[in-house]
């Protein structure tokens, strides 16, 4: 569990290669030294030198530590843990010194397309990086524009949070996009293609697009990495996807959050990482765009299933079994499409699934909960002021599964419930009566 946590919250860096030197023995003292192969230029960093010394001390302590679990052993274990933590902190400081970036310093303007809760939260996150950074939000609603420009509040979403004063809003695409260094796309997937086609003449062909939208286009089964360049008429439009377990309200409250940016362009992913990273937001990088996008789309459908279980009061055993099965189905399809298994067990996979399936702030989970409680889908959707992407994505997921010849019983059941072809109770009965098979 500690290893998993470390993998989530520590950036990946190459592990220095080690070789054990010959142990030097003396009648009164034993010493074991670890020799590290140095960095490319042959110099040993301060952090590596300290690690080398610490390793020797810990090895010596391990040899001399009393056995049998007595009080001395407990004290020694605490000392070893303390040393490990101190070494981790030193490594972190050293890594930050070596990886300083001027991305924030050289960025003058960022544009956010869309004024929903998550787009607003990301605008606030970037605007807080420096006071003279211009953050422009492109919106459709004049009332929200005026509210942001005059009161620094999005009157429709996150109304209890004041936005940084360097955020402005406009309904003019040319004004918003002029001179932008980065563009955050926060328009719902089903409306993205037509929206982007309408503003394409104002988009610089080299402007990096960071997609915040999760889902699949219903009729075409396209992901945002396909929609954005095609809608803009530029197959080489720089693209990054941002995903991971994150609620807008918690970002606004500056609670600790970890996400991942994925791009085929390693340097671009690193630049966006530096643009977004802050004391309350950790950003990992990945080149697995497919894995991050597919996990982000399918988890919304699984969250509806989890909500249905909760709404029907089917218990914790059922919830655990259903989510585990759903995770397997996501893995089967995503890997068939070329995703990396490690992506699916990371922030954009398991991390986002846990958040979306088990937490009441999830819109998709709440749709499922209300369906499980007996409400009709039309009533639910008409009462919501935000988009639950899982509803429109469900049908696309099943079409995609058929294309790749993958069986997805849980996610297929959700699609049939949404299409009003199956009741939640009947769906559960059918799923429980599936053949007893070997777990894969």
Residue positions forming the annotated binding site for NAD(+) = 114-119, 191, 214, 248, 363, 389
Strand, helix or coil at 374? coil
Q: Which of 52, 83, 130, 299 is catalytic?
A: 299
Neighbouring CB atoms inside 10 A of 347's CB total: 26
Are residues 238 and 208 in contact, defined by beta-carbon separation less than 8 angstroms? Answer: yes
CA dihedral 340, 343, 344, 348 (to 10 degrees): -150
- Judge whether 37 and 19 are in contact, CB under 8 Å: yes
Residue 152 backbone zone (phi > 0: left; psi -120 to 50: alpha; other: beta): left
- Cβ(127)–Cβ(148) under 8 Å? no
Which residues, 6+ apart, have CB-to-CB distance to 188 below 8 Å?
Answer: 114, 116, 213, 215, 387, 389
For residue 247, give the nearest of 380, 345, 157, 134 by alpha carbon. 157
Q: Do 127 and 278 form a contact (C-beta atoms < 8 A)?
A: no
What b-and-e string marks burial along 296-308, b requiring 16 or more CB atoms within 10 Å of the CB? bbbbbbbbbbbbb
Q: Other C-beta atoms within 10 Å of 221: how many?
A: 15
Cβ-Cβ contacts under 8 Å for 252 (sequence gap 6 or more):
121, 124, 158, 161
How many C-beta atoms lie closer than 10 Å to residue 204's C-beta?
A: 15
Contacts of 182 (CB under 8 A, 6+ apart): 107, 110, 111, 207, 208, 210, 272, 275
Q: What angle do CA 196, 202, 207 make, to 5 degrees?
A: 80
SS3 percent helix, strand, coil of the chain, rounded to 5, is 55, 10, 35
Residue 299 among the catalytic residues: yes
Annotated binding-site ranges:
114-119, 191, 214, 248, 363-364, 389
Distances (CA, A) of 145 to 28, 148, 184, 251, 375: 76, 5, 17, 21, 35
Count CA within 13 A, CB hemisphere, residue 332: 22
Catalytically annotated residues: 299
């Amino acid at each position: 569990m500690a290893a998993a946590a470390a993998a989530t919250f520590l950036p990946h860096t190459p592990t220095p290669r080690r070789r054990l030197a010959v142990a030097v023995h003396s009648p009164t003292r034993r010493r074991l030294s670890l020799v590290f192969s140095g960095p490319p230029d042959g110099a040993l960093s301060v952090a590596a030198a300290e690690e080398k010394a610490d390793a020797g001390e810990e090895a010596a302590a391990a040899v001399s530590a009393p056995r049998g679990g007595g009080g001395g052993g407990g004290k020694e274990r605490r000392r070893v843990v303390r040393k490990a933590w101190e070494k981790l902190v030193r490594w972190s400081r050293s890594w930050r010194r070596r990886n300083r970036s001027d991305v924030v310093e050289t960025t003058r303007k960022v544009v956010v397309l869309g004024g929903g809760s998550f787009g607003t939260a990301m605008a606030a996150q970037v605007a807080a990086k420096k006071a003279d950074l211009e953050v422009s939000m492109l919106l459709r609603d004049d009332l929200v524009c005026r509210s942001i420009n005059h009161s620094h509040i999005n009157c429709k979403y996150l109304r209890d949070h004041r936005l940084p004063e360097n955020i402005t809003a406009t309904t003019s695409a040319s004004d918003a996009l002029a001179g932008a260094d980065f563009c955050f796309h926060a328009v719902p997937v089903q409306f993205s293609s037509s929206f982007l086609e309408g503003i394409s003449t104002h988009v610089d062909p080299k402007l990096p697009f960071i997609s915040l939208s999760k889902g699949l286009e219903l009729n075409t089964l396209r992901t945002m990495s396909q929609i954005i360049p095609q809608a803009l008429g530029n197959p080489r439009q720089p693209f990054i996807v941002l995903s991971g377990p994150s609620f807008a309200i918690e970002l606004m409250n500056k609670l600790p959050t970890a996400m991942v940016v994925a791009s085929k362009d390693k340097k671009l992913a690193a630049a966006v990482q530096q643009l977004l990273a802050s004391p309350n937001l950790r950003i990992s990088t990945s080149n697995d765009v497919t894995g991050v996008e597919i996990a982000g789309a399918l988890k919304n459908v699984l969250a509806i299933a989890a909500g249905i279980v909760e709404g029907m009061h089917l218990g914790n055993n059922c919830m655990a079994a259903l989510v585990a099965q759903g995770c397997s189905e996501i893995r089967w399809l995503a890997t068939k499409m070329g995703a990396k298994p490690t992506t699916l067990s990371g922030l954009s996979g398991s991390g986002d699934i846990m958040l979306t399936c088990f937490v009441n702030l999830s819109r998709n989970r709440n749709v499922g909960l209300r369906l499980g409680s007996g409400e009709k889908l039309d009533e639910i959707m008409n009462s919501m002021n935000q988009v639950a992407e899982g509803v429109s994505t469900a049908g696309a997921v099943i079409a995609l599964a058929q294309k790749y010849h993958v069986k997805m019983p849980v996610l297929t059941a959700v699609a049939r419930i949404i299409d009003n072809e199956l009741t939640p109770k009947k769906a559960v009965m059918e799923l429980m009566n599936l053949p007893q098979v070997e777990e894969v």
